[in-house]
């Protein structure tokens, strides 16, 4: 079953990527047929185990624990690579049926051909509206990118401050943030000239910049780490 699903997804990937603009993307964001096959196998396995979808990102998640402002602390952040996104989509949709898994893979292959996703956990004062935090992506080549989309923040749980136990009550929120991969007028693509991406978390004039090494990410990808 998994081999059949992967074969269908690989066929779609050839069509999608072949029709995309001719951009020499950074290797960390290039899907090869074996990536799709392995990611599909991983996603189905995790789904059958009843895993948390976000556990897919464990290998690439950074423990940041950096204060942005009085009200905002970055706890964890992950750069979500294409192979991880395929596994994530399979687990998140929750249905092990062939048709459901294949649909998740196909939709994700299309999405990752044009978008970069970050998953981040922020600790916010409970008095704060979680929708007021802002994000930006920057590249080592000098590009600055506004988000294409920010999903509705998900409340994870109420917590005590990890940095200051005397601080007011706070809560953890999860954010999935999407940025352009292939570029657009005024925004260069994430190509081979980019060695590092930065997720910038902003609260008013204050900000925190989290680096992600794309050479490391590409090496993990080609090493077959799933």
Which residue in this structure is represented by tokens 């998900």? 154
pLDDT score recorded for residue 226: 40
Could you give the maximum distance between any two Cα atoms of the chain, in Å? 56
* DSSP-derived 3-state class of residue 202: strand
10 pLDDT higher than 60: no
Name the pLDDT band for 224 (thresholds 50, 70, 90): very low
Name the pLDDT band for 146 (thresholds 50, 70, 90): very high
pLDDT per position as a tens digit, 27-81: 999 998 999 999 999 999 999 999 999 999 988 888 999 999 999 999 999 999 9
Name the pLDDT band for 18 (thresholds 50, 70, 90): very low
What is the rounded CA–CA span in Å between residue 139 and residue 194?
6
Task: Return the structure tokens found at 107.
Answer: 């939709």
Name the pLDDT band for 144 (thresholds 50, 70, 90): very high
Average model confidence (pLDDT) for the chain? 87
8 pLDDT higher than 70: no
Asked which of 33-37, 211-215, 219-223 is least confident by mean pLDDT, the reply is 219-223
Residue pair 199/77 in contact by the 8 Å Cβ criterion? yes
Closest by Cα among 91, 113, 89 to 190: 113
Determine the average pLDDT of the residues in 184-213: 94
What is the rounded CA–CA span in Å between residue 73 and residue 162?
9
- The whole-model pTM stands at 0.85
């Amino acid at each position: 079953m998994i081999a059949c699903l992967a074969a269908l997804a690989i066929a779609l990937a050839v069509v999608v990527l072949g029709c995309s603009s001719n951009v020499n993307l950074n290797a960390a964001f290039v899907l090869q047929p074996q990536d799709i096959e392995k990611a599909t196998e991983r996603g189905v396995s995790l789904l059958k185990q009843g895993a948390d979808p976000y556990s897919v990102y464990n290998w690439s998640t950074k423990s940041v624990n950096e204060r942005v402002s009085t009200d905002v602390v970055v706890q964890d952040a992950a750069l979500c690579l294409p192979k991880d996104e395929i596994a994530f989509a399979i687990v998140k949709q929750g249905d092990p049926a062939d048709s459901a898994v294949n649909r998740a893979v196909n939709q994700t292959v299309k999405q990752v051909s044009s978008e970069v996703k970050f998953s981040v956990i922020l600790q916010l004062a409970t008095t704060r509206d979680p929708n007021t935090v802002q994000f930006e992506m920057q590249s080592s080549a000098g590009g600055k990118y506004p988000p294409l989309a920010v999903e509705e923040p998900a409340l994870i749980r109420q917590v005590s401050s990890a940095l200051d136990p005397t601080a007011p009550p706070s809560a953890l929120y999860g954010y999935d943030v999407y940025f352009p991969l292939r570029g657009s007028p005024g925004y260069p693509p994430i190509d081979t000239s980019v060695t590092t991406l930065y997720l910038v978390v902003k609260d008013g004039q204050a900000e925190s910049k989290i680096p992600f090494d794309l050479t490391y990410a590409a090496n993990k990808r080609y090493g077959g780490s799933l």
